Amino acid sequence: MADTLRDIEAKVHAGERLSFEDGVRLFRTRDLFAIGRLANEVREKKNGNRAYYVRNMHLNYSNVCIFDCHFCSFYRKEGQEGAWEMDLDTIFAYAAKARFEKLNEIHIVGGVHPKLPWNYYLEMLRGLKERYPELHLKAFTATEIDHFTRIARKDAGTVLAELREAGLDSLPGGGAEVFADRVWNRICSGKARPERWLEIHRTWHRMGGRSTSTMLYGHIETDEERVDHILRLRALQDETGGFNAFIPLAYQVENNRMPGLPRPTAQTDIKVHAVARLLFDNIDHLKAYWIMTGLKMAQILLSYGADDIDGTILEERIVHMAGAESPLGVSEEELCSLIREAGRDPVRRDTLYRPLEAIETTRSNH
């Protein structure tokens, strides 16, 4: 342990909360091994040797969006080449794969569509729940929920209550990006602002709902802005306890309006996960989202604070439109082998981190 981090190490061992300044120092250190070891201690204290994964699929009902966030490679304007929107029958047919593959969760997000009516979203959830009651519907970022309040002309609490009545089980954490005004104004100034993102999750949590939290890292944000973002999420978690997990999202470089930025490095991937693990004393789970970091890095991150590697994911689209080099999906056998090779015990989970029976893998990489 480098001398400069000894006081932080003492705090971690004493279970004391780390400060803003501690977070910035952790991001500035070159001692990757030291922060990794500390993050691993916290990870093992909270989650033992378990590494969670889920059988899930993504459903991107439309990529048409009224906004034009600079980092986003997914959106298209209405009528533009490459734009799509699924009608409800297509969505229901698409989701049949989830039953066939014995999945537990569908992750549903799309662009902020200029014309789809409020009823489309309610009918989507209702129809999915009627047909596939066994599936957990994790749907709609705070950006989409904010849009629904305008098209439905109702407040966020009412919109969320109606969505829940239609079948919504939990909220994904997308749309948070980096909360600092300087970053927000440069990369996504049009959409629902950070205060609104936090308010929508607060409202959902107060209704007894659960959600995840995210941060898009590795573009123009500073160390201070990363720590500020994490601490704002930590403060909301103190208030509500509604976040299941924190998910760092690695910036993807292609097909967007921020040309010339390099991909996040391995150092950045590791630091963001490890420092987040150390700062979030009140969120149990930290996800290495392999779709964005790649499977190899996600496997390493299981030793640097992460206890979850997301899932098998059928047909991811958003991140791959941004140039992700990871595969479109991965088999459960492969995921479990990667976890075991990292020295962890794979635990299949549901969306709320309740353990389910994991697959037995015969293949070993040892």
Give me the residues that bind ligand SF4 (CB under 6 A), please.
65, 67-69, 72, 74-75, 111-112, 143, 188, 191
Q: Is the Cβ of residue 86 or residue 359 nearer to ligand SF4 in the bound state?
A: 86
In the bound complex, what is the minimum distance in angstroms from residue 188's beta carbon to ligand SF4? 6
Q: Hey, what amino acid is at 247?
A: I
Q: What residues pair up with 76 in beta bridges, in sequence order?
A: 64
In the bound complex, what is the minimum distance in angstroms from residue 64's beta carbon to ligand SF4? 9
Give which of 183, 189, 278 is closest to 229, Cα–Cα: 183
Q: Is the Cβ of residue 67 or residue 120 nearer to ligand SF4 in the bound state?
A: 67
Q: Is the Cβ of residue 188 or residue 292 nearer to ligand SF4 in the bound state?
A: 188
Q: Is the Cβ of residue 264 or residue 346 nearer to ligand SF4 in the bound state?
A: 264
Q: What residues pair up with 85 in beta bridges, in sequence order?
A: 62
- Say if residues 200 and 147 touch (Cβ distance below 8 Å): no
Tokens of 68: 């034009």
In the bound complex, what is the minimum distance in angstroms from residue 279's beta carbon to ligand SF4? 25
- Say if residues 282 and 18 touch (Cβ distance below 8 Å): no
Q: Is the Cβ of residue 38 or residue 65 nearer to ligand SF4 in the bound state?
A: 65
Q: Is the Cβ of residue 31 or residue 68 nearer to ligand SF4 in the bound state?
A: 68
- Say if residues 148 and 157 touch (Cβ distance below 8 Å): no
In the bound complex, what is the minimum distance in angstroms from residue 217's beta carbon to ligand SF4? 15
In the bound complex, what is the minimum distance in angstroms from residue 44's beta carbon to ligand SF4? 35
CA-CA distance, 179 to 258, in Å (whole number)?
18
In the bound complex, what is the minimum distance in angstroms from residue 74's beta carbon to ligand SF4? 5
CA-CA distance, 35 to 52, in Å (whole number)?
22
Q: Is the Cβ of residue 252 or residue 299 nearer to ligand SF4 in the bound state?
A: 252
CA-CA distance, 52 to 197, in Å (whole number)?
27
CA distances from 94 to 144, 178, 225, 317 (A): 21, 33, 39, 14
What are the φ and ψ backbone dihedral angles of 186, each rounded to 5 degrees? -90, -30
In the bound complex, what is the minimum distance in angstroms from residue 35's beta carbon to ligand SF4? 30
- Spell out the residues 6+ positions from residue 33 whose beta carbon is closer than 8 angstroms to its own: none
Report which secondary-structure segment, H or E, holds 249: strand 243-250
